[in-house]
Structure 1
Amino acid sequence: MTIRIGVQIQPQHADYADIRRAVAEAEEIGVDIAFNWDHFFPLYGEADGKHFECWTMLGAWAEATSRIEIGALVTCNSYRNADLLADMARTVDHISNGRLILGIGAGWFERDYDEYGYDFGTAGTRLADLEQALARIEARWQKVNPAPTRDIPILIGGGGEKKTLRYTARHADIWHTFGDVEVLKRKSAILDEWCDTEGRPSSAVERSIGVDKAPDEVGEELVAAGANLFTVGLNGPGYDMGLVREWVAFRDSQKA
């Protein structure tokens, strides 16, 4: 698969004007995908610092950009009714003229659940809910009018070997993981096995990984391990694109 570069513009510790400038800069320098994340409070830094909601922001990004794909890395399945989420995704898909990726995961940040009144449950119940939601999302996309502009790509984030990776093999177009090259190799091999079980070619699921090192340190080995989507996480308010530019240059060098 073609190498692609993503940036996760973390919607914390910044004014929205800072975030909007960051997504515009990402598009200008040639990033392929701009992600945010789906939380209600900062994940690090000042715990009660500035923070914005995910999906209203994606609707704004759909209007503020024209080329890059957009999505959440990742949506927490627990926070929205699955059919509603499917309709939200379909709507942003239309606003963006077919540039939305539906990133989704089972959820994990307990403070979000507690303060917003969601049942945290257990890892097992959240994963079971995710599996049910994925089927409902796919079914709702078959019913809405107008239909999505394309088969909206589904990205699943997580590395659980018995459930998450099986759900990924069954439903996803992209699998996202964090970790080093050895984690990528091990989990990717398990995903291959689940793809075989589910009757899908392993090549149908793009491998995505978060990166915080320069491509001249880790790029070649990650590509050799099967990754082709590399996403740099950036914190507000500065959103320094220096490392992102290095990864864009790495992508372009591979085309030469």
Structure 2
Amino acid sequence: MNIVVLVKQVPDSGAERSLAGDGWSVDRSGGTNVINEMDEYAIEEALRLKDETGAQVTLLTVGPDHAVDSIRKALSMGPDAAVHVSDEAVAGSDALGTAKVIAAALGTLEYDLILSGAESTDGGVQVLPHLLAELLDIAALTGARKVTVEDGGLLVERQTEDGYEVLRASGKAIVSVWDTINTPRYPSLKGIMAAKRKPVTTLTLADLGVDAATVGRSGAATTVLSAEPRPARGAGVKVADNGDGGDQLVAYLTAEKFV
């Protein structure tokens, strides 16, 4: 069994984030880039399946040269190898353009299962697994809280607001996972040292046969119309308790639709 895990390097959500000089994209040039949090759960799930089935686990990422730092950290958790698509022409791609590049990269690999996080902290659009399923003509089982390998296919519990749905698929599939599925492991010293020797294949758009004009900002199917920095935090509302503080608090929470 061959598993490919999609991994993305994103700006640390715990650090201050800003727009790049173009005013339309997130600045990724700083030193606060990390593995997308949800992808760590996808990596852990792949490693769990590896322990059960002896699967080969390969990471796949699309990003600038410095994304290799996140690749090495991810490899230290236990995957076997990685593929890094690095090409300046990819910069500014929307979800569809990114999906085209990833689909082309997957075409160079043998895989039975693709795992990904349910969303990225810098985009949060949650459409990439569906786009890839369409481009690759495979099943999409999204929002998983549990994955089980069965004879001839997969059994997935899909998390919903009211509980979960049971999905089954035979053949190749892409599964996105939520943070309820497991607890990602911490890399061991042995894993960190081993990651330095694991193979990382770097590919360009030319290697993948992807026309640069169809991706990037110029080839995007969507357009950012405006962008503004987050407004400064306001002073808030103070409730003076003159015997009716509770009523004031309930009225405020009701107005803000918290209750």
Whether the TM-score (by the shorter chain) exceeds 0.5 is no
TM-score (norm 2): 0.29
TM-score (norm 1): 0.30
The structure that has the greater radius of gyration is 2
Determine which structure has the larger helix proportion and give its number. Answer: 1
